[in-house]
Amino acid sequence: MVTPTSSNLTTSNKNTATLRSLLRYALPLNSTIAVGDPDTAINWAVVVRAQPASYPEIYGGELALLSMEVLRIYEARITLQNVIRTLADSGIQAIAVEGDMTQQDMDVATECGVALLMLPEGTGLASVERAVNRLIVNQSAQVNERAIDIQRQLTRLAAENRDLSSLLQVMVRATTKPMVVHDDAGVLIAQAYPAVGRRATGRNLVQSVPYSAFQKWLKGDAPTSQGTISSSPIGYTTVLKVEKRVAGYLSLLEQGDDLDEFDQLVLTYGADVCAIELAKNRAISAAVEQARGDWIQMWLSGTPADDDLLRTRAQQSGFDPNVPYVVSVFRAVSANGQTLPLESLISLVRDDMARRQVEGAVGQYVDVIVTLYPMEDASSLARIRIAIDELRQQLATRTPSGLVAAGISRPAEGLSMLRDAYREAKDAVSIAGELNDMEHTTFYGDLKLYQLLLALKERSLTNLHQFYEETLAPLVEHDERKQSDLIRTLDGFFNANGNLAKAAQDLDVHRNTLVYRLERISELTNLDLNDADNRLILHLALKVQRVLSAVRVN
């Protein structure tokens, strides 16, 4: 290699660029600073070539771009350490090397006071030279060129059917800031953090922002127009739209600083490609779930004689009926109890199951949405009940009346048993409706007592009234006359399974206050709460009160 020519002249171009800005706007993605200060300024870029005739003069303050593989073609024994020392003596400010380097190479760079950068293999040094010098001469033009290059990379990845996380990684490497994608309900579905630098800051930022704060912001202040970027509780957020409907949100996590031009461009271009990816995923999920939904229609309208055919169709749809499932149904009604159309809600149910990675099935049957949730183990039931109730709440926000009820069956296995489970889930909604509850989630297994009471109501309503009058009526009358809380206290006592400490905490009263109220309940009802039979009578009386209240409303 020829020793570079050092000149005493200073460059006439006083523009400079820092290594930090080079990483963002000019150097290939995945380039890193191995040694040196990111704020080190360079005034030009030169490619170190092995042929003497094409080696440029160095004036001081430049960035040298080199490939050791190329240099060794002409001088096999040359080392990176020798090159670093030679270039440092000539006034080079920083060196960018294609390929790997050793700790010894970095130690020499530190010793010589030269910044050292690592470029990914396969880097075209000539194109990097042009990009760096264009940034120094005309930053705005290079920033736009870089953003367009990011857009090309994102489009190529989308064409290769890469997932959202892969797309976010490209944007994160370009902006050096964390980025996240939420679905239209504000649930996190993808995230990516920089490999270095701000990773911890970004992760801590997401964890430190209350989930409810972002949820509240989405409901009131989130952008609805495509291309609009708004400040949000976690940084800067833009909307992702699919078929003119909000499908999610893309956010860049940055607090305190104004969003610069480059970040705005990346966020805008990234939103376009992420929306396409969401649309593609939604179309695939809809096609799969449509096949499963058609199967649900056949299954519920079929008979046991059709089970062999239905089992084959189920397996073709990617659904295994031979594992335990929980069946749930959702019904939307108006304020006067009239059933509402469900077509607009089915896609939301499918999206929720896809987001939770539930390998179940969704379909519509008559006036309800039917879902099947697979049971992994006995402990899954509690998680499934929570998931179904969260989904019901989401559906309620998309329903004009806001009244959506959900019913949940007990776990079942096999086509015939699953039909029974469907009836349980639908009965749970119906029984809750009879109790004048049209906007909660009801588990069939919790309704045994109400089933008995509703049956008694049909046969002997007078006896139920008499039982109520002899047990709870004195407490109700006392509460109305004295503005007290004896009924609420009794209900809280039973909900806490007789645990005084827990009941006092749930009712937000002192333990002594709770004890006094329970003693007053015993006096008014002439029933000693220390007796198990008396406790059963009063607990049953509370259930009867609810049934009779529903009768009066109806």
Query: What does pLDDT average to over the chain?
Result: 81
- What would the pLDDT profile of 422-458 be if each residue is shown by its tens digit? 988 988 888 787 777 778 898 988 776 666 666 565 5
pLDDT band at 199 (very low <50, low <70, confident <90, very high): very low
Asked if residue 113 is part of any domain, the answer here is: yes
Mean pLDDT is highest, among 49-53, 220-224, 403-407, 437-441, for: 403-407
- Same domain, residue pair 263 and 345: no
CATH number (domain holding residue 387): 3.30.70.270
Least confident range from 23-37, 209-223, 434-448: namely 209-223
CATH number (domain holding residue 119): 3.40.1390.20
Residue 200 has pLDDT above 60, yes or no: no
Work out the average pLDDT over 359-374: 86
Any idea what the Cα angle at residue 253 is, between residues 251 and 255, rounded to 5°?
130
322: CB partners within 8 A, 6+ apart: 413, 414
Residue 9 has pLDDT above 50, yes or no: no
Domain that holds residue 224: 161-283
Work out the average pLDDT over 526-544: 81
Q: Which residue has tokens 């062999």? A: 308
pLDDT at 186: 79
What sign does the CA torsion over 56, 61, 65, 68 have?
A: positive
Residue 339 has pLDDT above 60, yes or no: yes
Asked if residue 376 is part of any domain, the answer here is: yes
- Same domain, residue pair 103 and 128: yes
Structure tokens at 307: 């089970």
Domain boundary among 392, 414, 439: 439
Bridge-partner residues for 246, per DSSP? 241
- What would the pLDDT profile of 96-154 be if each residue is shown by its tens digit? 999 889 999 999 999 999 999 999 988 889 999 999 998 998 888 888 888 888 888 88
Number of neighbours of residue 8 by Cβ within 10 angstroms: 7
Give percent of the chain with pLDDT exceeding 90.
Answer: 16
Least confident range from 122-136, 204-218, 512-526: namely 204-218
pLDDT at 207: 55
Number of domains in the chain: 4
- Same domain, residue pair 422 and 458: no
pLDDT at 432: 80
Work out the average pLDDT over 43-71: 80
27: CB partners within 8 A, 6+ apart: 96, 117, 119, 128, 131, 132
Q: What is the pTM of this model?
A: 0.54
What sign does the CA torsion over 125, 126, 131, 137 have?
A: positive
Q: Which residue has tokens 């190529």? A: 156
63, 93 contact by CB (below 8 A): yes
CATH number (domain holding residue 208): 3.30.450.40
- Same domain, residue pair 413 and 453: no
Cα–Cα distance measured from residue 168 to residue 270, given in angstroms and rounded to the nearest whole number? 8
Asked if residue 404 is part of any domain, the answer here is: yes
pLDDT band at 2 (very low <50, low <70, confident <90, very high): very low
The residue among 471 and 9 whose pLDDT is bigger is 471
Residue 498 has pLDDT above 90, yes or no: no
The residue among 411 and 400 whose pLDDT is bigger is 411
- What would the pLDDT profile of 269-296 be if each residue is shown by its tens digit? 889 988 888 888 777 766 665 655 566 7
Dihedral angle at the C-alpha atoms of 371, 373, 374, 377, nearest 10 degrees? -150
